Each structure stands twice: as structure tokens, then as C-alpha cells.
Amino acid sequence: MTVGTAPTSAERTGELRHNLADVRERIAAAARAAGRDPAALTLIAVSKTWPAADVLALTRLGIDQFGENRDQEGRPKSVAVATGRSAGVGPTTAIADPVTWHFIGRLQRNKARAVASWADWIHSVDRESLVSGLEAGAAAAGRTPSVCIQVSLDVPGSEPTVGPGGPTRGGAPPDAVERIAQLVADAPHLRLAGVMAVAPIGRPARPAFARLRVVHERLLADHPRATVMSAGMSSDLADAVAEGATHLRVGTALFGHRPRFP
Ligand SMILES: *Cc1c(COP(=O)(O)O)cnc(C)c1O
């Protein structure tokens, strides 16, 4: 039951508070080491597989950015969270701004329209054929989601990344990024925000993020407002911060180990 809003136990809230303090300390330390301002880093809590109640608990701890990787899960959860907040589920302190939802998963063409109706951000646009569906969904909903182009960090000529979630984590080859980005930039209801990537499994993350940084700098030359570099997860966030990441997508370190791989 991943969309339930039954209030979290005091124990779970304590666990989330403790994990969040840990993650914030890791981010601050990584920023210090890189000579960067921690305030310039955005933490996205990746809530996939976790109930809306956990999201509500984190909003009361000051988190307002959440990541989901499936339309079937993210859409009802975003509704449950909005409903739970307006009903004041749990302690009603600090009900401030609405939460921001980031879609970070593999995007199917037949889901693009639907995702654009609830996600405020879409990090995983990795082919041109997704753009028309996103634009149509955003226009129909009267919204303007922010879009990152997902870049593959697999090394050309070596085996593509194979993870438990499927044959590949997705991503456009670096030389296709500019073309996809231009389509997004030309879409009236989409805002080109930057680039996103997942480090290859089983290889050092830092050099992979360094390659993402180069791709990002190339994109910035043509699209100076596409300032976002979405990179870094629970295990490699310091490497991502060192290479210029602006948005960190952290699941396990905040919520614990997922009961199943999504
Ligand atoms: C699940 C997921 C994350 C979070 O990963 P953790 O290792 O749990 O922090 C980040 N990015 C993407 C694309 C994901 O699917």
C-alpha cells in the first residue's frame, strides 16, 4: 500500500528525522569539500514504494521536493498527499507551500501525456518521441513542467548498464542531447531545466559525473537558463556534488531499503 495516508508512527517519524539529519550532514560535508554553498543544492526525497504518510511526515520536517518513478504510483500518491495536507493529517504545523513532484523514472511514450498532468518536473526525457506527448499533456492541464534531458553515462563501446530494474537505466547518448533539448525548448508548455543522469552500476561514479558535467556545459552554451544538473543518489551524492550537481535524488538513505526494487 504505497499511497496510504494512515498517520506514521512516532517511531517511523523519528527514523525519518534521524535519516534526514544524516543526509543533510552528508550533503553539507560534500558541499564544504567541494567549496560549494549547500544552500545551492536541492534535495529531492525519492519516495517510490513508500506510503503517502511518509511523504506527509517529511513535509512536516521541512522537505517539499519528492521523486517518483512510475505514473501508476506517483499520480495517486500526489493526490493523497495533497488531500492529506488539506485535511491536516497529523500535526498541522508547517503546512506551507504545495509539494513539488519530480518524475525520475523511465518514461514510456504512452505515459508521457499522463505524467505531464501531475509531475512538476520530468527528469527523464531521453528521446525526441517523448516531447509531443509531454507538451500535449502539459497544455491540456494548463501547466508548464520543467524538463531535464537524461544523459546515458555508459561508456561507448562497453556493455550498457544492466540493473535489477531492467536492461538499462535509460538516457540519451551525449551527442543526441542538443537535439532533444531544442525540441523541449521550442515546446510552449515545457521549460528546459537542464540534464539528469544515473551513474553506471559497478563503475566509479565520479568520472561518469565528470562526463555529465561536460555535456551540461555544452548545453548551457546554447541554453543559459538550463542550469540544473540532476545527479547523485544515496550512494554517490558526494561525487555528484563534487562535479557540480544541483539536484540530488535520495531514496534509500532517507526512507530505508525499499521492500522491492521498483
Ligand atoms: C530510485 C532512484 C533514485 C534514488 O536511489 P537511492 O539509491 O535509493 O537513493 C534516484 N534516481 C533514480 C532515477 C531512481 O530511480
Protein residue whose Cα sits closest to atom 12 of ligand 1: 104
pLDDT at 261 over 50: yes
Range name among 4-18, 117-131, 169-183 with the lowest pLDDT average: 4-18
Q: How far apart are CA 255 and CA 261, in angstroms?
A: 14
- Could you tell me if residue 242 is inside a domain? yes
Q: How far apart are CA 185 and CA 125, in angstroms?
A: 13
The best mutation among 19, 26, 46, 69 to test binding of ligand 1, ranked by most ligand atoms within 8 Å of the C-beta, falls on: 46
Q: Which one, of 195, 46, 187, lies nearest residue 112 by Cα?
A: 187
- Which atom of ligand 1 approaches the CA of 169 most closely? 13
Specify the pLDDT at position 157: 66
Residue 207 pLDDT > 80, yes or no?
A: yes
Q: Within 13 A of 31's CA, how many CA atoms are on the CB side?
A: 17
Residue 195 belongs to what H/E stretch?
A: strand 191-196
DSSP assignment letter at 151? B
Taking each helix axis as running N to C, give the angle between helix 177-186 and helix 205-222, from 0 to 180 degrees, rounded to the nearest 10: 50
Q: List 192's β-bridge partners, or say none.
A: 147
112 contacts: CB under 8 Å, gap ≥ 6: 130, 132, 133, 134, 137
Helices (H), the chain: 10-34, 52-59, 71-86, 112-115, 131-141, 177-186, 205-222, 237-242, 252-255
Residue 213 has a pLDDT of 98
Portion of the chain with pLDDT greater than 70, in percent? 87
Q: If 0-12 CB within 10 Å is exposed, 13-18 middle and 19+ buried, where does residue 98 land? A: middle
pTM for this entry: 0.92
Mean pLDDT score across all residues of the chain: 91
How far, in Å, are 8, 193, 198 from residue 91 at the CA level?
11, 35, 36
Residue span of the structural domain in which 249 resides: 10-156+163-255
User: Is 4 part of a structural domain of the chain?
Assistant: no
pLDDT band at 164 (very low <50, low <70, confident <90, very high): very low
| pLDDT greater than 90 at residue 262 | no
Q: Can you give the CATH number for the domain in which 90 is found? A: 3.20.20.10
Task: Domain count for the chain, please give it.
Answer: 1
User: Is 1 within the bounds of a domain?
Assistant: no
Mean pLDDT, rounded, for 153-168 = 62
pLDDT computed for residue 165 by the predictor: 47
Q: What are phi and psi of 229, to 5 degrees?
A: -120, 105
Residue 5 lies in a domain: no
- Over range 191-210, report the average pLDDT: 96
Protein residue with its CA nearest to atom 10 in ligand 1? 249
2 domain residue, yes or no: no
The residue whose C-alpha atom lies closest to atom 4 belonging to ligand 1 is 251
Share of the chain above pLDDT 90, in %: 81
Q: Which residue has the higher pLDDT, 217 or 260?
A: 217
Give the range with max mean pLDDT: 30-39, 164-173, 253-262.
30-39
Q: How far is the CA of 262 from the centre of ligand 1 (A)?
A: 10
Q: Is position 3 within any domain? A: no
pLDDT band at 1 (very low <50, low <70, confident <90, very high): very low
Whether residue 152 is contained in a domain is answered as yes
Q: What is the pLDDT of residue 256?
A: 96
210, pLDDT greater than 50: yes
pLDDT for 8 equals: 78
Residue 94, C-beta contacts closer than 8 angstroms, at least 6 positions apart: 59, 60, 62
Q: What is the pLDDT of residues 103-148, one digit of tens each?
A: 999 999 999 999 999 999 999 999 999 999 999 999 999 999 999 9
The label of the residue with cell 556545459 reads 217
Interhelix angle 131-141/177-186, nearest 10 degrees: 20
> Which band of pLDDT confidence, cut at 50, 70 and 90, is reported for residue 258?
confident
Q: Give the model's pLDDT for residue 110.
A: 96
CB-based burial of residue 175 (10 Å sphere; 0-12 exposed, 13-18 middle, 19+ buried)? exposed
Residue 6, pLDDT above cutoff 80: no
The answer as to whether 147 is a domain residue is: yes
User: Residues near ligand 1 with C-beta < 6 Å?
Assistant: 46, 48, 69, 104-105, 198, 233-235, 249-253
